Structure 1
Amino acid sequence: MARWEPNTRERLVRAAVELFAEQGYEATTVNEIAERAGGLTKTTFFRHFTDKREVLFAGQEIHNRIMSEAIAEAPESATPLEMIGLALDGLASSFTEDRRDIGRRLRTVIASSAELRERSASKRAALSAATAQALRARGVSELVADLAAELGARAFYGAFDRWTSSADARTLVEYAHEVFGELKTAMSSLK
């Protein structure tokens, strides 16, 4: 591949996941990732990512924005849980089937490293915080916004785990509906 080819960021992500799966996160260098991505340079890598850890968490700001925008665009009459449902639909629908395999490998790589598990937890907390902020902007009280946002993050990550663990034809949206429904049922049994 020539250096000028499009989708440099995506190529770097795919190369990193492949190399981390093959030889481990700690054993992989930025130079190896750049080379695997089509003969790119370390400088090109650092134009897109601050370090090799961040290559695995590309898109976090996009996920936060998708959830926040869906909440902002929800009907005035929507309850906090309905807004979370719409936000989950928006985020889950942004994951196409071709992302399932990379997601599967990504989960394995993250599970193998304490550093990556910590970063993954930070990403989940950031998604929850952005979601809660969007709910508060819609007039939802702080406590309700925080609880609803945590439920939304739990639903998304639970659905993502099921989707990447399965070989069936269901979409991430379908899994998100399933997990979100299970969580709402579990909440109602707390009374």
Structure 2
Amino acid sequence: MARWQPNAPERLSKAALELFAERGYENTTVIDIAERAGLTKSTFFRHFQDKREVLFGSGTLAGLITEAVAAAPEAAGPLEAVTAAMDAVGQAAFTPERREFGTLRRAVIDANPELREREALKGLALTAALADALERRGIPGLTARVAAELGALAMTLAHERWSDGGDFGECARQALAEVLAAVPAFAAIPR
């Protein structure tokens, strides 16, 4: 493949995931990734800060969440705004074309404790971004945090189901409905 061909980030991501799956994350170097993609090490670093960034990106999801919550109708309540965020993330990141990448990414992360920790931190950051966006809409702090946590749980469930072949939007709405249906079971907390 010629170096001048387009889609260098996609080529690098695909090469990285293939190598991570074949050799393990720890045993794959940036040079290995660049060579597999038919590119140079400097091209890799033009697109990614390090090899972890192939898996974790540059924070685009937080921006999508924030924008979607802000763009939700003015009368939307917290969960409607969360649904708008899930829809935006699904349309951008969890498309059928990205399913293979997402499934392989999940396997690579699950095989490495350091990457699992990084994934957990990314999840916390996305939940915080969602709560902050809800608060900027005027939703009280605790309500915003609870809605963001419920949304994060629904997103996790939806991602698992999407990986198994479902439509992300449908999976997300169903997961949120299931999470909300479970909430009343905790209404009577013993004192």
- Shorter-chain TM-score range: over 0.9
CA-CA distance at 1:128 after TM superposition: 0.8
User: Which of the numbers 167, 177, 180 marks the counterpart of 2:173?
Assistant: 177
CA-CA distance at 1:189 after TM superposition: 2.7
Matched, 1:34 2:34: yes
**Between Structure 1 and Structure 2, how many residues are aligned?**
186
Tell me the residue number matched to 1:112.
Answer: 111
Equivalent position amino acid for 1:84 in 2: V
Tell me the residue number matched to 1:129.
Answer: 128
TM-score (norm 2): 0.92
Q: Report if aligned partners of 1:66, 1:90 keep a CA contact under 8 Å in 2.
A: yes
Q: Report if aligned partners of 1:34, 1:42 keep a CA contact under 8 Å in 2.
A: yes
How well do the aligned residues superpose, as a CA RMSD in angstroms? Answer: 1.3
- 1:42-81 alignment runs, 5 A limit: 42-58=41-57, 60-81=58-79
Equivalent position amino acid for 1:48 in 2: H
CA distance in 2, matches of 1:3, 1:72: 40
CA-CA distance at 1:43 after TM superposition: 1.3
Segments of structure 1 that go 5 or more residues without pairing to the other structure are none
Equivalent position amino acid for 1:148 in 2: A
Tell me the residue number matched to 2:14.
Answer: 14
Segments of structure 2 that go 5 or more residues without pairing to the other structure are none
Equivalent position amino acid for 1:30 in 2: V
Q: Identity across aligned pairs (percent)?
A: 52
Q: Report if aligned partners of 1:92, 1:156 keep a CA contact under 8 Å in 2.
A: no
CA distance in 2, matches of 1:52, 1:64: 20
Which 10-residue stretch deviates more, 74-83 or 2-11? 2-11
CA distance in 1, matches of 2:121, 2:9: 22
Deviations 1:123-182 (A, max 9, x none): 111111111111111011111111211221221122111211x24xx3111111111111
SS of 2:27's equivalent in the other structure is coil
CA-CA distance at 1:97 after TM superposition: 0.5
Tell me the residue number matched to 2:88.
Answer: 90
Equivalent position amino acid for 2:65 in 1: M
| Stretches (4+) displaced over 4 A | none
